[in-house]
Amino acid sequence: MNVEIKTIGVAGAGTMGSGIAQVFAQAGYTVSIYDQIPAMLQKAKSGIESNLAILVSKTKITEAEADSILGKISFTSDIENVKADFIIEAIIENLKAKQELFKELSILNPESILATNTSTIPVTQIAFGLPHPERVIGVHFFNPAQIMKLVEIISGIETTDEIAQLVYNMIQKCGKSPIKAKDAPGFIVNRVARPFYTESQKLVEEQVASVEDLDLLLESAGFKMGPFKLMDLIGNDVNFSVTKSLFEQFYYESRFRPSRIQEQLVSGGLLGRKSGRGFYKY
Protein backbone atom coordinates (compact mmCIF):
# COMPACT_ATOMS: atom_id res chain seq x y z
CA MET A 1 0.00 0.00 0.00
CA ASN A 2 1.22 3.52 -0.83
CA VAL A 3 1.74 5.47 2.37
CA GLU A 4 1.78 8.77 0.49
CA ILE A 5 -0.91 9.92 -1.92
CA LYS A 6 0.49 11.80 -4.90
CA THR A 7 -1.85 10.95 -7.76
CA ILE A 8 -5.65 11.05 -7.91
CA GLY A 9 -8.11 9.27 -10.18
CA VAL A 10 -11.73 10.40 -10.52
CA ALA A 11 -14.22 8.02 -12.14
CA GLY A 12 -17.21 9.92 -13.46
CA ALA A 13 -17.05 13.31 -15.19
CA GLY A 14 -20.42 14.68 -14.11
CA THR A 15 -20.96 17.71 -11.90
CA MET A 16 -19.59 16.02 -8.79
CA GLY A 17 -16.69 14.28 -10.51
CA SER A 18 -15.44 17.42 -12.24
CA GLY A 19 -15.80 19.45 -9.03
CA ILE A 20 -13.86 16.84 -7.05
CA ALA A 21 -11.11 16.78 -9.70
CA GLN A 22 -10.80 20.56 -9.47
CA VAL A 23 -10.49 20.38 -5.67
CA PHE A 24 -7.56 17.97 -5.85
CA ALA A 25 -5.83 19.81 -8.72
CA GLN A 26 -6.07 23.09 -6.79
CA ALA A 27 -4.39 21.31 -3.87
CA GLY A 28 -1.47 20.38 -6.12
CA TYR A 29 -2.29 16.76 -6.96
CA THR A 30 -1.95 15.21 -10.41
CA VAL A 31 -5.47 14.17 -11.41
CA SER A 32 -6.99 12.01 -14.14
CA ILE A 33 -10.73 12.06 -14.86
CA TYR A 34 -12.28 8.96 -16.43
CA ASP A 35 -15.66 8.69 -18.12
CA GLN A 36 -16.92 6.29 -20.77
CA ILE A 37 -18.59 9.14 -22.64
CA PRO A 38 -16.12 11.55 -24.34
CA ALA A 39 -18.75 14.32 -24.45
CA MET A 40 -18.93 14.21 -20.64
CA LEU A 41 -15.17 14.71 -20.45
CA GLN A 42 -15.36 17.75 -22.70
CA LYS A 43 -18.21 19.15 -20.63
CA ALA A 44 -16.19 18.56 -17.45
CA LYS A 45 -13.16 20.35 -18.91
CA SER A 46 -15.29 23.33 -19.96
CA GLY A 47 -16.89 23.44 -16.51
CA ILE A 48 -13.54 23.45 -14.73
CA GLU A 49 -12.21 26.15 -17.07
CA SER A 50 -15.29 28.25 -16.30
CA ASN A 51 -14.90 27.74 -12.53
CA LEU A 52 -11.24 28.76 -12.67
CA ALA A 53 -12.07 31.81 -14.79
CA ILE A 54 -14.49 32.94 -12.06
CA LEU A 55 -11.73 32.58 -9.45
CA VAL A 56 -9.41 34.66 -11.64
CA SER A 57 -12.08 37.35 -12.09
CA LYS A 58 -12.46 37.53 -8.30
CA THR A 59 -8.63 37.77 -7.97
CA LYS A 60 -8.58 34.62 -5.84
CA ILE A 61 -6.05 33.05 -8.20
CA THR A 62 -3.96 34.37 -11.10
CA GLU A 63 -4.31 33.34 -14.74
CA ALA A 64 -0.98 31.52 -14.44
CA GLU A 65 -2.29 29.59 -11.44
CA ALA A 66 -5.48 28.71 -13.33
CA ASP A 67 -3.41 27.37 -16.23
CA SER A 68 -1.27 25.38 -13.80
CA ILE A 69 -4.32 23.84 -12.10
CA LEU A 70 -5.89 22.85 -15.44
CA GLY A 71 -2.53 21.44 -16.55
CA LYS A 72 -2.59 19.02 -13.62
CA ILE A 73 -5.81 17.39 -14.92
CA SER A 74 -5.94 14.80 -17.72
CA PHE A 75 -9.09 13.39 -19.29
CA THR A 76 -9.57 9.82 -20.52
CA SER A 77 -12.33 7.52 -21.75
CA ASP A 78 -10.11 4.45 -21.35
CA ILE A 79 -10.30 2.90 -17.89
CA GLU A 80 -6.87 1.32 -18.42
CA ASN A 81 -5.43 4.84 -18.11
CA VAL A 82 -6.83 5.24 -14.59
CA LYS A 83 -3.73 4.57 -12.51
CA ALA A 84 -3.49 6.48 -9.23
CA ASP A 85 -2.70 6.17 -5.53
CA PHE A 86 -6.23 7.28 -4.62
CA ILE A 87 -9.28 6.75 -6.84
CA ILE A 88 -12.72 8.16 -6.09
CA GLU A 89 -15.87 7.27 -7.99
CA ALA A 90 -18.67 9.76 -8.61
CA ILE A 91 -20.95 7.74 -10.87
CA ILE A 92 -24.63 6.81 -10.75
CA GLU A 93 -26.01 6.06 -7.27
CA ASN A 94 -26.37 2.33 -7.94
CA LEU A 95 -24.77 -0.42 -5.85
CA LYS A 96 -24.16 -2.86 -8.71
CA ALA A 97 -22.61 -0.19 -10.93
CA LYS A 98 -20.24 0.94 -8.17
CA GLN A 99 -19.22 -2.63 -7.30
CA GLU A 100 -18.50 -3.49 -10.93
CA LEU A 101 -16.44 -0.34 -11.40
CA PHE A 102 -14.40 -1.01 -8.26
CA LYS A 103 -13.77 -4.62 -9.27
CA GLU A 104 -12.25 -3.39 -12.52
CA LEU A 105 -10.27 -0.63 -10.83
CA SER A 106 -8.95 -2.95 -8.12
CA ILE A 107 -7.40 -5.18 -10.80
CA LEU A 108 -5.74 -2.20 -12.48
CA ASN A 109 -4.71 -0.65 -9.15
CA PRO A 110 -4.08 -3.50 -6.67
CA GLU A 111 -2.47 -1.24 -4.04
CA SER A 112 -4.62 1.88 -4.36
CA ILE A 113 -7.16 3.35 -1.99
CA LEU A 114 -10.66 3.20 -3.51
CA ALA A 115 -13.15 5.84 -2.38
CA THR A 116 -16.84 6.27 -3.06
CA ASN A 117 -18.72 9.56 -3.15
CA THR A 118 -22.00 7.75 -2.43
CA SER A 119 -24.72 9.70 -0.62
CA THR A 120 -26.47 6.76 1.03
CA ILE A 121 -25.20 3.33 -0.07
CA PRO A 122 -23.28 1.60 2.76
CA VAL A 123 -19.53 1.59 2.15
CA THR A 124 -19.35 -1.96 3.52
CA GLN A 125 -21.74 -3.13 0.80
CA ILE A 126 -19.75 -1.43 -1.95
CA ALA A 127 -16.54 -3.04 -0.63
CA PHE A 128 -18.06 -6.54 -0.51
CA GLY A 129 -16.22 -8.98 -2.76
CA LEU A 130 -13.23 -6.72 -3.39
CA PRO A 131 -9.74 -8.12 -2.70
CA HIS A 132 -8.89 -5.35 -0.23
CA PRO A 133 -12.03 -4.03 1.49
CA GLU A 134 -9.79 -2.52 4.17
CA ARG A 135 -8.71 0.08 1.58
CA VAL A 136 -12.24 1.10 0.58
CA ILE A 137 -13.64 4.25 2.15
CA GLY A 138 -16.45 6.75 1.71
CA VAL A 139 -15.42 10.31 0.88
CA HIS A 140 -18.66 12.23 0.49
CA PHE A 141 -18.31 15.68 -1.06
CA PHE A 142 -21.27 18.04 -1.31
CA ASN A 143 -22.43 19.92 -4.39
CA PRO A 144 -20.74 22.08 -5.61
CA ALA A 145 -17.64 20.18 -4.47
CA GLN A 146 -15.20 22.97 -5.36
CA ILE A 147 -17.06 25.37 -3.05
CA MET A 148 -18.59 23.37 -0.20
CA LYS A 149 -16.18 22.90 2.71
CA LEU A 150 -17.71 19.87 4.42
CA VAL A 151 -16.61 16.34 3.44
CA GLU A 152 -17.78 13.18 5.23
CA ILE A 153 -15.13 10.48 5.71
CA ILE A 154 -16.99 7.18 6.14
CA SER A 155 -15.30 4.00 7.32
CA GLY A 156 -16.80 0.66 6.34
CA ILE A 157 -16.61 -2.26 8.76
CA GLU A 158 -13.26 -3.35 7.33
CA THR A 159 -11.74 0.07 6.58
CA THR A 160 -8.57 0.45 8.66
CA ASP A 161 -8.03 3.38 10.99
CA GLU A 162 -4.77 4.12 9.16
CA ILE A 163 -6.58 4.53 5.82
CA ALA A 164 -9.28 6.69 7.40
CA GLN A 165 -6.70 9.00 8.98
CA LEU A 166 -4.60 9.18 5.81
CA VAL A 167 -7.63 10.22 3.76
CA TYR A 168 -8.80 12.63 6.48
CA ASN A 169 -5.41 14.37 6.39
CA MET A 170 -5.47 14.54 2.59
CA ILE A 171 -8.91 16.18 2.57
CA GLN A 172 -7.69 18.71 5.13
CA LYS A 173 -4.76 19.50 2.85
CA CYS A 174 -7.31 20.33 0.15
CA GLY A 175 -8.68 23.10 2.37
CA LYS A 176 -11.84 21.19 3.27
CA SER A 177 -13.43 20.44 6.65
CA PRO A 178 -13.58 16.64 6.98
CA ILE A 179 -15.66 14.82 9.58
CA LYS A 180 -15.44 11.12 10.36
CA ALA A 181 -18.64 9.10 10.26
CA LYS A 182 -19.67 5.48 10.76
CA ASP A 183 -21.25 3.45 7.98
CA ALA A 184 -24.89 4.18 8.89
CA PRO A 185 -27.78 4.91 6.47
CA GLY A 186 -27.44 8.44 5.13
CA PHE A 187 -24.28 8.88 7.22
CA ILE A 188 -24.71 12.22 9.04
CA VAL A 189 -25.68 15.04 6.68
CA ASN A 190 -28.19 13.25 4.47
CA ARG A 191 -29.93 11.76 7.48
CA VAL A 192 -30.19 15.10 9.26
CA ALA A 193 -31.23 16.88 6.05
CA ARG A 194 -34.19 14.61 5.20
CA PRO A 195 -36.74 16.46 7.41
CA PHE A 196 -35.62 19.76 5.83
CA TYR A 197 -36.81 18.38 2.47
CA THR A 198 -39.56 15.90 3.34
CA GLU A 199 -41.42 18.02 5.90
CA SER A 200 -41.31 21.01 3.56
CA GLN A 201 -42.82 18.91 0.78
CA LYS A 202 -45.49 17.53 3.12
CA LEU A 203 -46.55 21.11 3.91
CA VAL A 204 -46.98 21.73 0.19
CA GLU A 205 -48.85 18.43 -0.27
CA GLU A 206 -51.22 19.42 2.55
CA GLN A 207 -51.58 22.94 1.04
CA VAL A 208 -50.39 24.56 4.26
CA ALA A 209 -48.08 26.90 2.35
CA SER A 210 -46.64 27.41 -1.13
CA VAL A 211 -43.18 26.46 -2.37
CA GLU A 212 -42.24 30.14 -2.58
CA ASP A 213 -43.48 30.99 0.91
CA LEU A 214 -41.70 28.05 2.52
CA ASP A 215 -38.42 28.97 0.86
CA LEU A 216 -38.83 32.59 1.96
CA LEU A 217 -39.69 31.52 5.52
CA LEU A 218 -36.66 29.25 5.94
CA GLU A 219 -34.29 31.71 4.30
CA SER A 220 -35.52 34.45 6.66
CA ALA A 221 -34.86 32.04 9.54
CA GLY A 222 -31.19 31.87 8.55
CA PHE A 223 -30.89 29.14 5.91
CA LYS A 224 -28.79 30.28 2.95
CA MET A 225 -31.19 28.58 0.54
CA GLY A 226 -34.73 27.29 0.97
CA PRO A 227 -35.44 23.56 0.55
CA PHE A 228 -37.11 23.81 -2.86
CA LYS A 229 -34.42 26.03 -4.35
CA LEU A 230 -31.81 23.64 -2.95
CA MET A 231 -33.55 20.54 -4.34
CA ASP A 232 -33.65 22.21 -7.76
CA LEU A 233 -29.93 22.97 -7.46
CA ILE A 234 -29.00 19.44 -6.37
CA GLY A 235 -31.36 17.86 -8.91
CA ASN A 236 -34.74 16.44 -7.99
CA ASP A 237 -33.73 13.06 -9.38
CA VAL A 238 -30.69 12.93 -7.08
CA ASN A 239 -32.59 14.22 -4.06
CA PHE A 240 -35.50 11.84 -4.62
CA SER A 241 -33.11 8.89 -5.02
CA VAL A 242 -31.39 9.71 -1.71
CA THR A 243 -34.71 9.97 0.14
CA LYS A 244 -35.97 6.73 -1.40
CA SER A 245 -32.76 4.93 -0.44
CA LEU A 246 -33.00 6.11 3.18
CA PHE A 247 -36.69 5.18 3.30
CA GLU A 248 -35.79 1.61 2.29
CA GLN A 249 -32.75 1.35 4.58
CA PHE A 250 -34.81 2.44 7.57
CA TYR A 251 -37.39 -0.26 6.80
CA TYR A 252 -39.95 2.20 5.41
CA GLU A 253 -40.07 4.44 8.44
CA SER A 254 -42.74 7.05 7.66
CA ARG A 255 -40.60 10.09 8.47
CA PHE A 256 -38.38 9.23 5.48
CA ARG A 257 -41.24 8.69 3.00
CA PRO A 258 -40.45 10.32 -0.37
CA SER A 259 -42.75 13.03 -1.61
CA ARG A 260 -45.30 12.27 -4.34
CA ILE A 261 -44.80 15.80 -5.63
CA GLN A 262 -41.09 15.24 -6.17
CA GLU A 263 -41.72 11.79 -7.64
CA GLN A 264 -44.05 13.40 -10.19
CA LEU A 265 -41.42 16.00 -11.11
CA VAL A 266 -38.78 13.33 -11.61
CA SER A 267 -41.05 11.12 -13.73
CA GLY A 268 -41.80 14.16 -15.91
CA GLY A 269 -38.13 15.08 -16.36
CA LEU A 270 -38.49 18.29 -14.33
CA LEU A 271 -35.21 17.87 -12.49
CA GLY A 272 -34.45 21.47 -11.53
CA ARG A 273 -31.79 23.83 -12.83
CA LYS A 274 -30.15 21.23 -15.06
CA SER A 275 -33.39 20.62 -17.00
CA GLY A 276 -34.68 24.18 -16.93
CA ARG A 277 -37.59 23.47 -14.64
CA GLY A 278 -38.26 21.82 -11.29
CA PHE A 279 -40.13 23.41 -8.43
CA TYR A 280 -39.23 26.67 -10.24
CA LYS A 281 -38.72 27.63 -13.89
CA TYR A 282 -35.22 28.64 -15.02
Residues annotated as part of the active site: 119, 140, 152, 190
| Half-sphere CA count of 220, side-chain side, radius 13 A | 6
Angle ∠(38,42,47) on CA atoms, nearest 5? 145
238-257 as b/e: b if 16+ CB within 10 A: bbbbbbbbbbebeeeeeebb
User: How far does the chain reach from its first CA to its final CA, in angstroms?
Assistant: 48
DSSP secondary structure code for residue 79 in this structure: G
Angle ∠(186,190,193) on CA atoms, nearest 5? 140
User: Is the Cα torsion angle 126, 129, 130, 133 positive or negative in sign?
Assistant: positive
Strand segments, DSSP code E, in 90-166 are 113-116, 136-141, 150-155
